[in-house]
Amino acid sequence: MNNGGCETFVADCRLRQATELIAHTWDPLVLVALREGTTRRRDLLVAIGGISDKVLGQALTRLIANGLITRTAVPADQRGVSYVLTAVGASLATGPLAVLAQWAADNADALEPVQ
């Protein structure tokens, strides 16, 4: 199958590249939580129920490495940092992820319950 010049199962397919960005369970939730704007790590822990600090740190590291968020020092607190979506991260969080969330809500009765 060829989709826009991309063989679906080829390793360098753009669809595979895009889905890898959200393949980890918590990454899409972190992106969505950051739609509100610049956020400190402790506030992300509160906003994202069930995530541990260690797993949040891993997600933040991946998202930074993929260019979806940036980490900046908080001027008032020399030890504090905050996170914000990059332009491409914002386009993912407010575009495809928002559509996916709406699809999940619209089809909640047909989907298997989350374990």
Is 2 part of a structural domain of the chain? no
Helices and strands in the chain, H and E counts: 6, 3
Is 112 part of a structural domain of the chain? no
Q: What is the pLDDT of residues 6-36, one digit of tens each?
A: 666 666 678 888 888 889 999 999 999 999 9
Which residues constitute the domain of residue 68?
Answer: 14-106
Average pLDDT over residues 80-85: 94
Q: What is the pLDDT of residues 36-73, one digit of tens each?
A: 999 999 999 999 999 999 999 999 999 999 999 999 98
CATH number at residue 35: 1.10.10.10
Q: Secondary structure of 19-61 in the HEC alphabet?
A: HHCCCCCCHHHHHHHHHHCCEEHHHHHHHCCCCCHHHHHHHHH
Stated pTM of the model: 0.82
Query: Domain tally for the chain?
Result: 1
